[in-house]
């Protein structure tokens, strides 16, 4: 576990102590499913590994009977809606969803609720009122990238924006925050935008494709995670100066940053939601099944890495993975109590 990340995200020891560890009601016969819309990048793979690790232990401990994960082949609303309907028919008591669309799955979600199934969405949340939502303030995350660049680049300049998966809530919110930050600071102009799908290989190709059409003086690259290293590789293949590229907590991004920091003092920052938020969603679903009163909207802070704690966070991030925090039952209780 990333100790600095846990300190940032939760003061769970103190709050958990105040809540106490109430005896669980009998959820040992309850079955929880994960409906995931996409697994094509390192963040999603880390999210699934965290789910398997934490829920596997919960099943072994008899907390729940099952916690199965299902991922659609494509990021398609119709496919995920059909998956949710199938999970209803299979008799799951709760469905945890990382959604392909905030509105597009509302019909299937309402159908689940009507069948008595608890629905908890996270990361890619849904807007159907019967569901619960767990998210970071993605809009603020995007805005913070621009505010950081404004401090580092007081003269401003041209920015390249790398977006995530088109049509997904997370992509829209981060991008909105970036544009809000640009408007408020009045220092920057976004001269190009591409979709990197939160994957370094996709981002590298997209950035390489657009760079020839952009001005020479790109001073910064605002990103969404998983795309920073790909952007750096694309710039490396040109005669351009390396801009400040905001990173997204992936091991390859942090490793490249560390190499550049050691070689020439390169400075940037890195920010993302922890993939282990899937485990928070699991425990929230378990608590709802346990009879806890849980507010419909829960917010957790994003995980940020800066120049002075890069090495510590890199050391705690597995190769091919993402800087992460995995949640416990007590963490979930603390988040629920904090939202009341």
> 66 pairs with which residues across the strands?
31
CB 95 within 8 A of CB 119: yes
Comparing 3-136+273-311+318-339 with 138-272, is the CATH topology the same?
A: yes
Burial class (CB in 10 A: 0-12, 13-18, 19+), 26: exposed
Look at residue 40 in the predicted model and tell me its pLDDT: 87
Q: Which two tokens stand for residue 193?
A: 């935008």
Q: Which two tokens stand for residue 201?
A: 């290989």
Confidence tier at 13 by pLDDT (50, 70, 90): very low
Helix axes 77-89, 106-114, angle to 10 degrees: 10
pLDDT tens for each residue of 251-293: 999 999 999 999 999 999 999 999 999 999 999 999 999 999 9
CB 188 within 8 A of CB 159: yes
> 303 pairs with which residues across the strands?
272
Rounded to an integer, the average pLDDT of 137-149 is 97
Report the C-alpha gap between 64 and 29 in whole angstroms: 6
Q: Tokens 């995931």 sit at which residue? A: 36
pLDDT tens for each residue of 106-135: 999 999 999 999 999 999 999 999 999 998
Look at residue 25 in the predicted model and tell me its pLDDT: 61
pLDDT higher than 70, residue 325: yes
pLDDT tens for each residue of 85-96: 999 999 999 999
Which residue would you say has higher pLDDT here, 24 or 108? 108
Which class would CATH give 3-136+273-311+318-339?
Answer: alpha beta
Distance between first and last Cα of the chain? 27
138-272: CATH number: 3.40.50.2300
Rounded to an integer, the average pLDDT of 25-49 is 93
pLDDT tens for each residue of 38-72: 898 889 999 999 999 999 999 999 999 999 999 99
Look at residue 169 in the predicted model and tell me its pLDDT: 87
Helix axes 329-339, 12-19, angle to 10 degrees: 80
Strands 270-272 and 303-305: antiparallel
Which residue would you say has higher pLDDT here, 136 or 193? 193
Burial class (CB in 10 A: 0-12, 13-18, 19+), 46: buried
Look at residue 24 in the predicted model and tell me its pLDDT: 52
pLDDT higher than 80, residue 210: yes
Domain ranges in the chain are 3-136+273-311+318-339, 138-272
Interacting residues of 26 by C-beta distance below 8 A, sequence separation 6+: none
Q: Which two tokens stand for residue 295?
A: 């507010």
């Amino acid at each position: 576990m990333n100790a600095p990340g846990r300190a940032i995200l939760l003061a769970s020891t103190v709050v958990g102590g105040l809540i106490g560890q109430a005896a669980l009601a009998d959820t040992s016969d309850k079955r929880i499913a994960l409906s995931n819309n996409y697994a094509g990048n390192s963040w999603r793979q880390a999210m699934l590994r965290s789910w398997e690790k934490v829920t596997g232990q919960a099943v072994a401990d008899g907390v729940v009977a099952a916690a199965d994960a299902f991922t659609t082949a494509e990021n398609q609303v119709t496919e995920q809606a059909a998956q949710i309907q199938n999970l209803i028919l299979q008799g799951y008591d709760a469905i945890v969803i990382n959604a392909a669309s905030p509105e597009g799955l509302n019909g299937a979600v309402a159908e689940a609720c009507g069948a008595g199934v608890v629905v908890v969405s996270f990361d890619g949340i849904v807007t159907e009122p019967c569901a619960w939502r767990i998210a970071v303030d993605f809009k603020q995350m995007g805005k913070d990238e621009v505010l950081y660049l404004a401090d580092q680049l007081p003269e401003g300049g041209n920015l390249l924006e790398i977006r995530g998966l088109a049509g997904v809530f997370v992509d829209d919110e981060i991008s909105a925050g970036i544009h809000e930050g640009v408007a408020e600071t009045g220092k920057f102009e976004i001269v190009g935008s591409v979709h990197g799908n939160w994957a370094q290989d996709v981002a590298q190709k997209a950035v390489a494709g657009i760079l020839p059409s952009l001005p020479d003086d790109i001073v910064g690259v605002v990103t969404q995670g998983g795309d920073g290293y790909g952007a750096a590789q694309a710039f490396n293949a040109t005669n351009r100066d390396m801009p400040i590229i905001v990173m997204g907590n992936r091991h390859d991004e942090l490793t490249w940053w560390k190499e550049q920091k050691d070689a020439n003092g390169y400075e940037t920052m890195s920010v993302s939601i922890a993939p282990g938020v899937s485990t928070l969603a699991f425990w929230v679903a378990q608590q709802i099944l346990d009879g806890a009163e849980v507010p419909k909207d829960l917010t957790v802070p994003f995980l940020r890495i800066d120049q002075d704690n890069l090495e510590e966070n890199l050391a705690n991030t597995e190769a091919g993975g993402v800087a992460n925090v995995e949640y416990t039952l007590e963490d979930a209780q603390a988040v629920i109590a904090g939202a009341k």
